[in-house]
Structure formats: structure tokens, C-alpha cells
Amino acid sequence: MIIKSMSLQNFRNYESLNLQFDENTNIFYGDNAQGKTNILEAAYVSGTTKSHRGAKDREMISFDKEEAHICTRIEKNGIIHKIDIHLRKNKTKGIAIDGIPIKKAGELFGIIYFVFFSPEDLGIIKNGPSERRRFIDMELCQLDRVYLHQLSNYNKILLQRNRLLKDLAYRPDDKGVLDVLDLQLVKYGRQIIRIRKHFVEELDGLMVRIHDKLSGGREKMALGYEYNVSEAEFEKELARGRERDLKLKTTSIGPHRDDISFLVNGIDIRKYGSQGQQRTSALSLKLSEIELVKKRIHDTPVLLLDDVLSELDGSRQNYLLNYIHNIQTLITCTGLDEFINNRFSVDRIYRVSGGMVTVENGQEADE
């Protein structure tokens, strides 16, 4: 799948922008705060309806404007699809596929798949479990429609349960409601645990091979699903933890406390890894993600690389750039030196400056 073009209106610092993409490598370069990441963010929103940095809709609309519009053309199996996303200040977003409005964001599912790689991803191993869960959720919500649905239900019930735990102190009669919520939490939670387990196992198989190559055969990687509670024991453990939950006024058991472990040669690198080791492993994790997506969707995803090259040393850069040479990629960076030094083939170069984009080679941006 390929993103052919994108036009923006009132999106962040773009009043109006029309871009045609090359089907291979597209580089966006420019100084800080010029709007490079905003372009990748807009693309990501068009595929997932959400910002990769967790921004709210209203934050993505240009200051002083009421609405933003993102329109992309996607080519999938030789067919062009048009996706329109309208972000509105005080209303839910409007989405249309091929001009037909859709009611649920989930209907956008499967048209385009983006893998987003940002400098923060390089910290995924050293940072806390919530970021690793966010990684799983970001991927699975694009890959698995059932997961998307179950996760949103789970989060809703979890919120209600936590609210109830706080309220029960002065509304003790509502204890029966807790039983109902527990049943639902277990129902959705078990499916999440099952899907996550499968996902991590599959990713592990891919990552072992990639990490072996990336580390020159020196490191044996093992990825593990560190669940807070197993699928089989969730119901029992939730019941057992109830008194504690009532005291703490929060839900202490469930997949919202899950984690993934990274073992290199048997050592837990979340705690004991060197910084270089953690970053290399983060890179193999992202590359494995691309492989997993390819396997699942029988197509190549579009890769969005936000400023990561400058964060990697020469050999890792080369590895990454070789890896992606047959995947459509949108790359941002502040300077072009690194590519020229690497003699990397760049198909289209765009200069980004103050919310304007000019093409420096290939076709014109504004067609």
C-alpha cells in the first residue's frame, strides 16, 4: 500500500498544503519547529484517526480555526481510495471513505497501515511499562479489529469500576454494580490477554532473527509477555483482590498492568541493559513490527520515520536504510548530510520551512 497524496487545511501550522509522495523514499528536511513532524502526524491521523503523540483533535486544528481537514489518497491493490478526516473543535471528527461518511472510526480499519518510528520509541525499553503497553495497543488496534473493540470496552469498564470504587465509600448500596462490572471486565480483559500473548509470541519469533543480524550474532534476544494476570486466573484474582481494591480505590489486577520483557543473552535489559543495547533492541523491535505487519496484512505498511536517523550510529543507520529500501517511507530530519554521507538513494526531497513545503527534486508538490 502506498500513500499517493495528502492535502491539509488548517492542520497545525499548515493553512493549506498539497503533497504528492514518491512510492519509495521521501525526505522532509528543515530546521526545528517548521512542521516536519506535523506532516507525519497528519498522515498517521488519516490512517488511524488518532495522533501518534496522543494529541487531542482540537490541538491539531490551527490556532484560531474551527476545523481542520486532511484528505489522503491511498493506493491499495491497485485501487485508489480517498480518505477525508475533518477535525472539529467541539464535535466528534467526521470521517469519509471514498466520499461516503462512516459512523465509527473502526470502519477505516485495514485501508492503510502506518508504522510510526519516533525518537521516543528508542526509549521504549528503558522507559516504564505504560509505554510498552502503548506500543502493543498502537499496533494491535491497527491490526486486529476485535482487539480495537475489546480494548475500548475494557477501558470504559475499567474507568467505571475505578469511579465506583471511589464512590462506594459513601454509596455502599451500589456494591452489586461492582459484581456486574467485574464480569464485564473479565470478559473483555481475557480476550485482550489472549490477543496480546499471541502478538508477543509472533513478534518474538521475528525479533530473534532481526536482532541476531543487527548485533552481528553477539546477542540472543528473547521477548516475553509479562502479563499481570493470566487469562485463566483473571476472574479469580480480581475477586481475591477486591478488598484491596476497595481500600486503594483502584483496580489493581488486569491487563492494564501488563508489560513486555526483553532478555538479551538471558539478562533483563530493561533494568540491566546498556543504553546502546536498549536502543539497538528498540530498533529491532520496530523492524520486527514491520515484518509482523507484512505477514499479517500480506502487503507492506507505510513507514513514518520521525527524526530517528540522527539518533542512531552509522552502522545502525545503514542497517535501517537498507532494510526499508522497498517500503514507502516518509522520513524527517533537520539536515541532509547524513543521507549524502550514506549515499542513500532518496527519491524525493522536500524542504519544510514555516508551514510551507517545497520539492527540491522530482515532481512539484503542488499539482
Ligand X SMILES: Nc1ncnc2c1ncn2[C@@H]1O[C@H](COP(=O)(O)OP(=O)(O)OP(=O)(O)O)[C@@H](O)[C@H]1O
Is the CB of 42 or the CB of 178 nearer to ligand X? 42
Query: Could you tell which of ligand X, Mg ion, none binds residue 13, using a CB distance below 5 to 8 A set by kind?
Result: ligand X
Is the CB of 41 or the CB of 245 nearer to ligand X? 41
The number of C-alpha atoms within 13 Å of 18 and in the hemisphere containing its C-beta is: 5
Footprint on this chain of ligand X (rule: CB under 6 A): 12-13, 30, 32-38, 59, 61-63, 307, 334
Is the CB of 35 or the CB of 47 nearer to ligand X? 35
Query: Could you tell which of Mg ion, ligand X, none binds residue 12, using a CB distance below 5 to 8 A set by kind?
Result: ligand X
For residue 38, state whether it binds Mg ion (rule: CB under 5 A). Answer: no
For residue 280, state whether it binds Mg ion (rule: CB under 5 A). Answer: no
CB of 117 to ligand X, least distance (A): 14
For residue 37, state whether it binds Mg ion (rule: CB under 5 A). Answer: yes
Which one, of 188, 191, 92, 199, lies nearest residue 138 by Cα?
199
CB of 14 to ligand X, least distance (A): 8
Distance CA 301, CA 3 (A): 10
- Which triple of cell numbers denotes residue 255? 491487563
CB of 32 to ligand X, least distance (A): 3
CA distances from 95 to 46, 70, 82, 249 (A): 9, 10, 11, 38
Q: Which stretch binds Mg ion (CB under 5 A): 15-23, 37-45, 52-60, 128-136?
A: 37-45
Is the CB of 200 or the CB of 330 nearer to ligand X? 330
For residue 281, state whether it binds Mg ion (rule: CB under 5 A). Answer: no
- Which triple of cell numbers denotes residue 71? 484528505
CB of 354 to ligand X, least distance (A): 8
Query: Could you tell which of Mg ion, ligand X, none binds residue 63, using a CB distance below 5 to 8 A set by kind?
Result: ligand X
What are the residues whose beta carbons fall under 8 Å from the beta carbon of 259, sequence distance 6 or more?
129, 132, 133, 226, 228
For residue 46, state whether it binds Mg ion (rule: CB under 5 A). Answer: no
Query: Could you tell which of Mg ion, ligand X, none binds residue 20, using a CB distance below 5 to 8 A set by kind?
Result: none
Is the CB of 70 or the CB of 221 nearer to Mg ion? 70
CA distances from 91 to 57, 87, 88, 116, 187 (A): 9, 8, 5, 27, 31
* Local structure of 161: helix, strand or coil: helix
CB of 332 to Mg ion, least distance (A): 6
Which one, of 352, 330, 308, lies nearest residue 13 by Cα?
352
Judge contact between 223 and 200, C-beta under 8 A.
yes
Q: Are strands 67-76 and 25-29 parallel, antiparallel or unpaired?
A: unpaired
What residues make contact with Mg ion under the rule CB under 5 A? Answer: 37
